[in-house]
Amino acid sequence: MTAQISSTFDRRREEFPTLASGIHLLSHSLGPVPRAAREAMLAYTDAWERHTSEDAWATSWWELSERVGDRIARLLGGASGSVQVQPNTSVALSVVASCFDFGAGGRNKVVTTALDFPSTAYIWEAQQRLGARVHVVASDDGISVPLERILEAIDETTCLVALSHTSYRSSYRVDARAIVERAHSAGALVVLDTYQSAGVLELKAEEWGADFLIGGTIKWLCGGPACGYLYVRPELQSELRPRLTGWVAHEEPFAFAREMRYAPTVRRFAQGTPNIPGLHSCLAGLDIIEEVGLERIAAESRRRTEWMVEFALEHGWRLNSPRGTQERGGSVMIGVEDAPRTAARLAERKVFVDWRPSVGLRISPHFFNTDEEVRDAMQILKEVMSDKEGLRTED
Ligand SMILES: Cc1ncc(COP(=O)(O)O)c(C=O)c1O
C-alpha cells in the first residue's frame, strides 16, 4: 500500500480508547467513542445538578440544538441555520414525509430504490395510506442501481425522490447532482439519506441544490447514538409545514399558544424536548472529524478502499460493492460463504466487522485505522476464509 498522505497525518488514535481492543472496521455501524465524550457527559451531569429551575433552557439547552445543527451543517456542505437535530434518521425522514399532501390530487409519486435502508421502505409504505404512490427502482445485482433508471422514474407526477446517497448494503453511491437536476426540472424535491456518507465523504448539500439530507451521528461521525439530523435547503424552509411537529417547532415555544405558528427558522422541523445528553455526547466526535478534515478523511478512505478492492479481486473473492471509487462510499462488502461465522472468527482474532443478509461482510476503514491494521485485517480474513474447517466448527 502506498501511503502518500499518512506521513504528516495524526490519526488521533490516543483519543479513542476502543481502538486498543482490536482492529475497528465498523464505522458503517458503530463509530468508536472519543475519550472526550466521557468528560462532556460528566460536565453535562455537573451542570444538570446545579440547575434549580428552568434556567437550564435559557443558559444552555436551547442553544445546544442550534450549535450541534450548525456543526453538522458544515460537514454536509450546508450553511448555518440549515440543520435541525432530530431523534434519529427514521424520524427525520418521517418529518420530510409529513411535509407532503399526497392525496390532494396533485403529485403523489415517491421514487426510492431497492438499496435503501429498510426504514425508508417502511416509512413510504405507511405514506401509501395517505395516497402516496411508491416507485422502487430495482437493482439487477443488489450492488448498484443504474442512474438512467432512477432518472427515468422521475416524472411530472413525482413529488419526491427519496434515496440513499450511499447504500448501507453495498456502499453504492449515487450521482446526487444529476438526480437533483432531473428532479428539479420535473418539479420534484430530493431527500438524500447521507448516514453512510457524512463524516467519510466530502458532501456538497448546497452545491448539489439538494432539498433535504438526513442521517445521524453514531457511525462515521464518531458521535454515538446521540442524534439524527435533517438538513433543509434554506430557501425551501418557509414553504413547508410538517405534520410531524410539536411545541419546539413553534415560533414562540414559551408563549404556549393554542395555535401553531411555525418558527421562521429551521427549528420549524423540530418536535419536542431535544435529547440534551445525546447532544453533549456527540460534540467530541464532530470536533475530531472537523479537525482532521473531510478532505483528508475522504482521500484516506479512497486510498485504502481501492487497495482492499484490489486485494479482494486478486484473491478471487466476491466483491459486493461497486469497483469504481466514484461509485462507492467508505465501505467494502465481500461476499463469503457463511458471513455470521466468518465475522465471529474475525472477532476472535480481534478484527471487528459485521455482516448483513445477502451482502456478506461489511468492512470500513476510517481515518483512525493505520495502514498496517487494514493490511492485517485483509490477511487475517484470507486465513479465515481458507480455513474451511474452522468455519465449519460449531462453538
Ligand atoms: C443508510 C441508513 N439510513 C438509516 C439508518 C437508520 O438510522 P436510524 O436508526 O437513525 O433511524 C441506517 C442505520 O444503519 C442507515 O445505515
pLDDT tens digit sequence for 151-165: 999 999 999 999 999
Residue 344 CB burial class (10 angstroms; 0-12, 13-18, ≥19):
middle
Reduced to 3 states (helix: H, G, I; strand: E, B; else coil), residue 356 is: strand
Atom of ligand 1 at shortest range from CA of 196 = 1
Atom of ligand 1 at shortest range from CA of 164 = 1
Distance of CA 172 from the midpoint of ligand 1 (Å): 15
The full DSSP string for 243-259 is SS--GGGBSSGGG--SS
In the predicted structure, residue 316 carries a pLDDT above the cut 50: yes
Distance of CA 120 from the midpoint of ligand 1 (Å): 9
Q: What percent of the chain has pLDDT over 70?
A: 97
Q: Which residues line ligand 1 (CB under 6 A)?
A: 88-90, 117, 119, 164, 168, 193, 195-196, 216, 228
Ligand 1 mutation target, pool 29, 116, 119, 275, most atoms within 8 A of CB: 119
* Average pLDDT rounded to a whole number, residues 293-322: 97
Instruction: Note the pLDDT of residue 1.
Output: 54
224: Cβ–Cβ under 8 A, 6 or more apart, which residues?
31, 33, 37, 217, 218, 278, 281, 282, 285
91: Cβ–Cβ under 8 A, 6 or more apart, which residues?
228, 244, 271
Task: Pick the residue whose CA is nearest to atom 7 on ligand 1.
Answer: 89
Distance of CA 3 from the midpoint of ligand 1 (Å): 32
What is the spatial distance between Cα 31 and Cα 277, in angstroms, rounded to a whole number?
18
Task: Pick the residue whose CA is nearest to atom 8 on ligand 1.
Answer: 89
The full DSSP string for 285-346 is HHHHHHHH-HHHHHHHHHHHHHHHHHHHHHTT-EE-S-SSGGGB-S-EEEE-SSHHHHHHHH
Ligand 1 mutation target, pool 122, 168, 229, most atoms within 8 A of CB: 168
**Strand 212-216 with 228-232, pairing:** antiparallel
What the block records as the C-alpha cell of 218 is: 453514531
| Band of pLDDT at residue 8, cut at 50, 70 and 90 | low
| Band of pLDDT at residue 389, cut at 50, 70 and 90 | confident
Q: What is the pLDDT of residues 57-74, one digit of tens each?
A: 777 788 899 999 999 999
Distance of CA 19 from the midpoint of ligand 1 (Å): 23
Distance of CA 149 from the midpoint of ligand 1 (Å): 24
Smallest CA-to-CA distance from 205 within 183, 185, 226, 234 is with 234
360 pairs with which residues across the strands?
Answer: 356
CB of 196 closer than 8 Å to CB of 219 = yes
Atom of ligand 1 at shortest range from CA of 228 = 10
Distance of CA 136 from the midpoint of ligand 1 (Å): 18
Q: What is the pLDDT of residues 223-248, one digit of tens each?
A: 998 789 999 999 999 999 999 999 99
Atom of ligand 1 at shortest range from CA of 90 = 11
Q: What does pLDDT average to over the chain?
A: 94
349-377 burial string, b = 16+ CB within 10 Å, else e?
Answer: eebbbbbbeebbbbbbbbbbbebebbeeb
Which residue stretches of the chain are H helix?
35-50, 55-56, 62-76, 89-97, 118-127, 147-153, 176-185, 205-208, 234-237, 276-292, 294-314, 339-348, 371-386, 388-392
| Band of pLDDT at residue 301, cut at 50, 70 and 90 | very high
Smallest CA-to-CA distance from 278 within 34, 82, 72, 64 is with 64
Query: In one letter, which amino acid is 227?
Result: C
- Supply the pTM of this predicted model: 0.96
